[in-house]
């Protein structure tokens, strides 16, 4: 009875004060030692922990990775090994974030993040270590599969939804890694040196969007920025994040990314993870001897508790534990839906897909077809799968008894080609794997994938390639095969999702969130001084020309452009119209008509100004579902925030005036209609 009454009083009390006021009030009652205990991690059953202070009802905070699901052990996607069934970590093995990004569907992103957060809460977690929004600057980047792709607008829209989804579960989301942490190679030593305009226009927007969505924590990164460690960087932390972006939550260090005590504390770091090397006793000493002020220590704790109050952690006890079974059949189904929705149909000559009823013999070729399904990436984003449905299993169960399905692991090219030759159709499964800790060494698919595809395509004209990829891959064989599908790591339901798409139960509607180059020498930041850097200095002197902006500027034709993705149906686009609103914003409409079932549409805005501007920048996208023969008018709005650039002289956003052209299309290169307008 007493406890119930107390809870009631706390709830009543909470309604009249803001989270920040409540945090400030609580901090005024803490001792110095209690404050110090909250600004650094301690080892526990989670990757990061801060202790409970029962005296004042502060719960233990449990931090855990991450994208792809709840990470308790390192990856094991070898579905024939005991590792998979054995440890059952009792969580869903989700598609990676880049996979969900490729759906271009913010609603699906929010459902994904909410479900991951829900499972983490069952597991006793209250601080989720995601989203990971570092821009995919160079396609070999080892963590690109966890990222939101190469475009700041797409990343921002999706980061907002991810944060809202996670935090709807009374869990703090942690947007990471702040900032300019775009490579794994020498990640703990390299200085990322970028101009301030590219920093604001390319690398900050997704972080800023997460801040506006109310994200509780920001994780500063391993790298240096302009030669100063990211976790003790006055410009990026105090001036930009807490100053210009008004971030009121806390900055936590990446694991081992703290390098000083007073400098880090005074320049903006609020919490050291995972231990107290700098923010334990040394910080206490620094406060006592005045190198760090009492006010600053209070601010560090207030920021941490503000984040906990804001999502409700202080008002409801966390009851989950690491051994709770958080599996959920609704989540298994959502995982399948997401994986199918994220399949990008890159090529489909002669409408080879979906597989027709006349096909009676299908050869499944390659390790990824069954023995080693590369359904997830590694590192802190890795997950031990509860199960993995292999493509062979998924295709067999969908095709039914009348279709003969055979499998060859592809280790012997001649044997595999012979099997393909006597089948009606061959599907070659290939992959590229990637992990935190290192970048990919090249953009080719792994093992003997390239040779295997060549051998199968030479033996069987009806060859389909299906790739599970970490990011962009090169396809020296692309002209020799009929159809190509890629999925960024699709998770536990991979085989069912593959069957959903190959047999047409799901009409592909995903689009590339990264450009696929013809070869590595075509990619942005390809100079050694840019990536991986020389003597631990990486110069971002490609500036704004990241991703498709680079290819557009260089007038280079990539293999598959940003936004590319086909459907099993065709669309027609009408002419665009524009009206100016009284507040200076513009509304556009253009009709999309459909010969089939499903569509996506996007908008690209081209700036009017000098040759130094990227030719086109994405400023809106909209996905629409259309029935056969249906037509719909698409609406887009361009507000002030869409037509400004970072003014390096005045150090703020300023409006661009003049003549603009808005392009509307289905990829960054497949533009159907455009509309010019003046902004005065």
Ligand X SMILES: *[C@@H]1O[C@H](CO)[C@@H](O)[C@H](O)[C@H]1NC(C)=O
Closer CB to ligand X, 34 or 371, in the complex: 371
Q: Which residue has the tokens 């075509």?
A: 522
Residue 330: Cβ-neighbour burial (10 angstroms; 0-12, 13-18, 19+): exposed
Closer CB to ligand X, 504 or 543, in the complex: 543
Name the minimum Å distance from CB 651 to ligand X. 9
CB under 8 Å to 298, separation ≥6 — which residues? 24, 27, 28, 35
Q: Which stretch, 273-281, 437-445, 532-540, 664-672, contacts ligand X (CB under 6 A)?
A: 532-540
What are the distances in angstroms from CA 151 to CA 137, 286, 345, 549, 674? 9, 42, 20, 9, 21
For 533-639, where are the E strands, in sequence order?
A: 537-539, 571-573, 577-580, 586-594, 598-606, 617-625, 631-638
* Angstrom distance (rounded) from CA 554 to CA 639: 29
Does residue 73 interact with ligand X by CB under 6 A? no
Order of all β-strands in the sheet with 671-679 = 617-625, 598-606, 658-665, 671-679
Name the minimum Å distance from CB 354 to ligand X. 29
Name the minimum Å distance from CB 517 to ligand X. 21
Closer CB to ligand X, 32 or 73, in the complex: 73
Pair type for strands 250-253 and 217-220: parallel
Q: Which stretch, 32-40, 54-62, 527-535, 561-569, contacts ligand X (CB under 6 A)?
A: 527-535
* Angstrom distance (rounded) from CA 188 to CA 199: 20
Q: Site for ligand X (CB under 6 A): which residue of 294, 581, 609, 670?
A: 581
Q: Site for ligand X (CB under 6 A): which residue of 637, 652, 657, 659?
A: 637
Name the minimum Å distance from CB 572 to ligand X. 24
Does residue 235 interact with ligand X by CB under 6 A? yes
CA angle 57, 59, 60 (to 5 degrees): 150
Name the minimum Å distance from CB 379 to ligand X. 19
Closer CB to ligand X, 142 or 282, in the complex: 142
Does residue 246 interact with ligand X by CB under 6 A? yes
Closer CB to ligand X, 206 or 399, in the complex: 206
Does residue 37 interact with ligand X by CB under 6 A? no
Name the minimum Å distance from CB 478 to ligand X. 26
User: In the window 162-191, what residues touch ligand X (CB under 6 A)?
Assistant: 186, 189
Does residue 583 interact with ligand X by CB under 6 A? no
Does residue 89 interact with ligand X by CB under 6 A? yes
Determine the longest span between alpha carbons in the chain, in angstroms: 81
- CB of 395 within 8 A of CB of 499? yes
Burial annotation 20-31 (CB, 10 A radius, 16+ → b, else e): bebbbebbeebe
Give, to the nearest 10 degrees, the angle between helix 205-212 and helix 152-167. Answer: 30
Q: Nearest CA to 135 among 62, 70, 77, 192?
A: 192
Binding-residue total with ligand X (CB under 6 A):
38
Closer CB to ligand X, 81 or 678, in the complex: 81
What are the distances in angstroms from CA 532 to CA 184, 527, 643, 648? 9, 8, 33, 26
Closer CB to ligand X, 119 or 454, in the complex: 119
Name the minimum Å distance from CB 662 to ligand X. 14
Closer CB to ligand X, 273 or 634, in the complex: 634
Closer CB to ligand X, 18 or 281, in the complex: 18
Name the minimum Å distance from CB 159 to ligand X. 16
User: In the window 195-214, what residues touch ligand X (CB under 6 A)?
Assistant: 195-196, 199
Does residue 587 interact with ligand X by CB under 6 A? yes
Does residue 330 interact with ligand X by CB under 6 A? yes
Does residue 115 interact with ligand X by CB under 6 A? yes
Q: Site for ligand X (CB under 6 A): which residue of 143, 164, 372, 663?
A: 372
- CB of 23 within 8 A of CB of 302? yes
State the number of CA atoms in the 13 A half-sphere of 555 facing the CB: 1
What are the distances in angstroms from CA 95 to CA 170, 335, 343? 23, 7, 11
Euclidean distance between the first and the last CA atom of the chain, given in angstroms as a whole number: 66
Other CB atoms within 10 A of residue 421 CB:
14
Q: Site for ligand X (CB under 6 A): which residue of 323, 625, 654, 678?
A: 323
Does residue 88 interact with ligand X by CB under 6 A? yes
Does residue 644 interact with ligand X by CB under 6 A? no
Q: Which stretch, 326-334, 473-481, 492-500, 596-604, contacts ligand X (CB under 6 A)?
A: 326-334
472 φ, ψ (degrees, to nearest 5): -65, 145
Residue 273: Cβ-neighbour burial (10 angstroms; 0-12, 13-18, 19+): buried
Q: Site for ligand X (CB under 6 A): which residue of 21, 31, 80, 670?
A: 80
Q: Which residue has the tokens 């067999």?
A: 396
Q: Which residue has the tokens 């180059």?
A: 517
Name the minimum Å distance from CB 185 to ligand X. 7
Q: Which residues are part of the catalytic machinery?
A: 254
Name the minimum Å distance from CB 581 to ligand X. 5
Does residue 21 interact with ligand X by CB under 6 A? no
CB under 8 Å to 557, separation ≥6 — which residues? 518, 551, 669
* Angstrom distance (rounded) from CA 63 to CA 234: 25
Q: Site for ligand X (CB under 6 A): which residue of 532, 600, 620, 665?
A: 532
State the number of CA atoms in the 13 A half-sphere of 587 facing the CB: 8
For 277-341, where are the E strands, in sequence order?
A: none
Does residue 78 interact with ligand X by CB under 6 A? yes
Does residue 226 interact with ligand X by CB under 6 A? yes
Name the minimum Å distance from CB 538 to ligand X. 8
Q: Which stretch, 81-89, 97-105, 260-268, 486-494, contacts ligand X (CB under 6 A)?
A: 81-89
Contacts with ligand X by CB under 6 A lie at: 78, 80-81, 87-90, 115, 118, 186, 189, 195-196, 199, 225-226, 235-236, 244-246, 323, 325, 328, 330-331, 367, 371-372, 532-536, 579, 581, 587, 637
């Amino acid at each position: 009875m007493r406890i119930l009454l107390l809870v009631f009083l706390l709830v009543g009390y909470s309604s009249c004060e803001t989270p920040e006021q409540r945090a400030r009030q609580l901090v005024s009652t803490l001792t110095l030692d209690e404050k110090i205990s909250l600004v650094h991690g301690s080892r526990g059953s989670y990757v990061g922990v801060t202790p409970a202070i029962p005296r004042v009802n502060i719960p233990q905070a449990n931090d855990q990775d991450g994208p792809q699901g709840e990470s308790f052990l390192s990856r094991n996607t070898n579905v024939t090994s005991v590792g998979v069934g054995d440890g059952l970590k009792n969580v869903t093995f989700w598609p990676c974030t880049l996979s969900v990004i490729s759906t271009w569907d913010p609603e699906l992103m929010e459902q994904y993040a909410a479900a991951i957060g829900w499972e983490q809460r069952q597991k006793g977690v209250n601080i989720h270590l995601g989203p990971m929004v570092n821009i995919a600057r160079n396609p070999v980047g080892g963590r690109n599969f966890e990222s939101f792709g190469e475009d700041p607008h797409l990343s921002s829209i999706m980061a907002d939804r991810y944060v809202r989804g996670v935090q709807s579960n009374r869990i703090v989301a942690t947007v990471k890694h702040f900032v300019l942490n775009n490579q794994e190679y020498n990640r703990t030593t390299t200085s990322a040196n970028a101009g301030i305009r590219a920093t604001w226009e390319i690398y900050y927007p997704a972080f800023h969007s997460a801040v506006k969505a109310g994200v509780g924590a920001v994780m500063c990164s391993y790298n240096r920025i302009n030669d100063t460690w990211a976790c003790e960087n006055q410009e990026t932390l105090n001036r930009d994040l807490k100053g210009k972006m008004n971030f009121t939550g806390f900055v936590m260090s990446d694991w081992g990314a703290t390098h000083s005590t007073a400098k880090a504390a005074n320049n903006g770091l609020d919490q050291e993870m995972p231990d107290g090397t700098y923010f334990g006793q040394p910080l206490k000493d620094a406060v006592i001897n005045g190198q760090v002020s009492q006010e600053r220590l209070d601010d560090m704790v207030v920021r941490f508790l503000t984040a906990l109050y804001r999502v409700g952690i202080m008002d409801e006890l966390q009851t989950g534990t690491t051994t709770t079974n958080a599996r959920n059949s609704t989540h298994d189904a959502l995982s399948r839906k997401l994986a199918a929705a994220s399949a990008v149909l890159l090529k489909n000559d002669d409408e080879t897909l979906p597989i027709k009823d006349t096909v009676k013999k299908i050869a499944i070729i390659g390790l990824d077809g069954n023995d080693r399904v590369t359904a997830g990436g590694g590192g802190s984003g890795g997950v031990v799968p509860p199960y993995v449905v292999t493509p062979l299993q998924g295709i067999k169960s969908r095709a039914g008894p009348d279709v003969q399905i055979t499998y060859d692991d592809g280790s012997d090219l001649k044997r595999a080609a012979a099997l393909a030759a006597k089948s009606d159709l061959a599907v070659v499964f290939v992959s590229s794997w990637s992990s935190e800790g290192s970048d990919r060494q090249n953009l080719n698919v792994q093992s003997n994938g390239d040779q295997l595809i060549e051998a199968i395509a030479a033996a069987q004209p009806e060859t389909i390639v299906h790739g599970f990829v970490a990011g962009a891959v090169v396809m020296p064989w692309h002209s020799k095969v009929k159809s190509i599908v890629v999925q960024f790591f699709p998770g536990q339901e991979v085989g069912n999702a593959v069957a959903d798409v190959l047999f047409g139960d799901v009409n592909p509607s995903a689009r590339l969130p990264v450009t696929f180059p013809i070869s590595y020498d075509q990619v942005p930041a390809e100079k050694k001084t840019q990536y991986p850097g020389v003597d631990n200095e990486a110069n971002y002197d490609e500036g704004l020309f990241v991703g498709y902006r680079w290819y557009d500027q260089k007038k280079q034709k990539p293999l598959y452009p940003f936004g590319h993705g086909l459907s099993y149906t065709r669309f027609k686009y009408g002419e665009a119209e524009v009206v100016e609103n009284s507040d200076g914003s513009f509304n556009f409409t253009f009709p999309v008509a459909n010969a089939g079932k499903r569509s996506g549409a996007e908008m690209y805005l081209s700036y009017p100004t000098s040759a130094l501007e990227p030719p086109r920048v994405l400023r809106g996208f909209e996905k629409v579902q259309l029935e056969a023969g249906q037509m719909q008018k698409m609406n887009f709005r361009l507000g002030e925030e869409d037509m400004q650039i970072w003014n390096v002289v005045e150090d703020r956003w300023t409006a661009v005036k003049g003549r603009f052209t808005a392009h509307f299309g289905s990829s960054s290169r497949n533009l159907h209609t455009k509309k010019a307008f003046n902004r005065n």
